Structure formats: structure tokens, C-alpha cells
Structure 1
């Protein structure tokens, strides 16, 4: 598994809460287990105490994405560095799950060992490290917050032209439809005002009716 893959852990953790909608999916050990992956070592070690721990990490990771989205690179990096100090990783070289299709030999790659004391700490460490890898390889400006109101989901922009503005195709479509409707509404209002102005001008140019004597 590539280290950059772990950035998705950070995105999924942050997006487990939608502040403007008042929803929170991270409410139980089962929710943490689903987030970590039921088939993983961390998933099998989940306890109730991991819920508040990951909620706290989630709030701080959202701060990283928001700082990056606002263009405050130094703050984004500082916040992420603080998290990585609290949740250090144990990198290892692994090849057990990647074999060369022709030779059958291992394709060696970096892997994060799950050696933290709790499942929540394992997930937090992996999420922070993955986000750090993407941040340093792609740039801080690749971390963003969805522009489709009321969505405030986080995302990592991996597009070639740095053009991503929304967390999903669904949000992009909704935002485009809303923008189109707003443009049409403005055009209709302008047309209506223009019609009223033309009617008024025409009325002013018409001669007044003759007064009967």
C-alpha cells in the first residue's frame, strides 16, 4: 500500500461529520470499526474510547483542510505537524501484498505498521502521515473544502490541472445547476426591468390626449 493512500483515511475521518447539516456518523465503536476497516488489525482492536479520540483528531484535521483552503499554508503545516508529533508512525518496508506478475518477486514499498497502543491512534497516525505525504508531494493548495453549500466536505485534489473545487461529482452537479438557475433568474429579472423601462419611455413619448373644451 502506497503511503499516499493513507490520505484517504484523513478525508474519510473529516467527512464523517457534516457541521452545517448537523450530522455525525462517528457515534459508536462500530462506526470506528467501519472507518478503520473490519478486516484490518486496527479494526479488530476498536474500543469505545476510540470514539472521542478520533472525534478530537477529526476536528483538528478539519482545521488543516480549512487552513489550506484559505491559503494559509504555514498554519496548515503547523497543525499537521502537531498531530504527527502526537501520533507518530512506524514505517516498514513491505512486499507481502505486491508481487511482480512475471517473476513473482516482491515489489517492495513503504508500509505503516500498526504498532500504536489503540486502534484510534493507529488510524490517526496513518491518516496524518498519508496527508503529509500528499501535502509535500502535491502541494498544500491541493487540500480543499467543498464549495457546494451546505456541504463542507474535505478533499485532496489529485487532478493534473489543480482544478478541483468540489468533494464529489454529485456536489459539482448540484453547484452547477444552482449557478445556472441563479443566472437564469438574474436574466429574467433584468429582462423584466428592461421591459418596464421601455414601457415607461414609450409612455413618456406618447402625446397627451387632447383636452375637450
Structure 2
């Protein structure tokens, strides 16, 4: 099955959205190092870690910069992407590790975790910008949800961040239809 973007791009975009969504309104979903460790594990991040509060703060500080990408026009996205790449002194290179065949990394494995996250997101966004597909970066359509999503469906139809919001919207629509009869 053909994907919308190369596999590593889709993984980077999904990881960026997942990172942004660790701050859900005022609710902190990455409150401590254990939560960061779980996030890193769940997202399959490799490379060195310091496992300290400075690393946690740096990762948390990245979220607003990435979140802005879902809210701005293409020119501003390009500025953010270029800044993320320049700040990390990104140097694209082909690498192979774990179960991954050759793919692009733009930082070394010993770069700080937040820098690796920023650069991976930026590298994924390069493809989105070049393909003029920024419309695939959306904010959940459920009225009280502010989570971000990446629509990788062929027909660009994904509207909700997860099945919980989709189900809530379906219930609201069902009740609205029945209220008029």
C-alpha cells in the first residue's frame, strides 16, 4: 500500500504530533522523567539520554515551537523548520540502525534528545512543505479538543485526534438529529 509520505517522514510527523499533544490544554501529560522515559520508549527514540530534569525541560520547551506549525501559514512553517535545523546544526546523513534500513538523520546519536526530536520533526516537515501538504496538519475538530493530528489518509478525511473525540462527535450529531424529530 502506497503511503502519503516516506515511512520515516510519517513516523517523524506522528512523533511530533504526539509530543505536542503531551500538553493538552492546561493538562501536563509529561509531568516527570518517568513520563518522558515512557514517551521516548513508545515513540521508539534511540540515541543518548541524560535522564535529568534539564532534558525534560528541553523536550517540554520544544512543544510550543512545534505546536505553532499547526497554526500558521507555509511561510512561517518554513521559518520554524529552518530555525529548528539551524539551531541543531543539522547535517543530514544516511544511517541504518535497529530494524530500520537506510534513512536520513540530521543529528548524531549523542545529540541532546530535544535537538534530535526538533530535527526529526523539521526533516519530516520539509517533505510536507515541499509537497504542499500542510493541510494534512490539523487541529482536532471536536469543539473542546485542542490536540493536533496528522491526516495521512488518502482522501484527507481525518478530522479527529482519536476515536474518543470521533465517538463524542458522533454521539452529539446523533442526539442533535433525534432532538429534531
Q: With structure 1 as the length reference, what TM-score do the two structures score?
A: 0.69
Measure, in 2, the Cα distance between the counterparts of 1:122 and 1:95.
16
1:45-103 CA-to-partner distances (Å, cap 9, x unmatched) read 33210222222210111111122xxxx3323333333223223434322345569xxxx
Cα gap change, 1:46/1:121 in structure 2, threshold over 3 Å: closer, same or farther? farther
For residues 1-213 of structure 1, what are the structure 2 equivalents within 5 Å?
Answer: 2-4=7-9, 5-19=11-25, 22-37=26-41, 40-42=45-47, 44-67=49-72, 72-97=73-98, 108-115=102-109, 117-137=111-131, 139-185=133-179, 187-188=180-181
1:136 Cα deviation after fit: 2.9
Deviations 1:157-201 (A, max 9, x none): 11111122111233212112112212333x15xxxxxxxxxxxxx
Determine if contact 1:42/1:123 at 8 Å carries over to the other structure: no
Give 1 or 2 for the bigger CA radius of gyration: 1
| SS class of match (1:159) | coil
TM-score by length of 2: 0.79
CA distance in 1, matches of 2:121, 2:111: 16
**Number of aligned residue pairs:** 174
Report if the CA contact (8 A) 2:48-2:111 is conserved.
no
Report if aligned partners of 1:61, 1:80 keep a CA contact under 8 Å in 2. no
Superposed displacement of residue 9, structure 1: 1.9
Q: Give the superposition deviation at 1:109.
A: 3.5
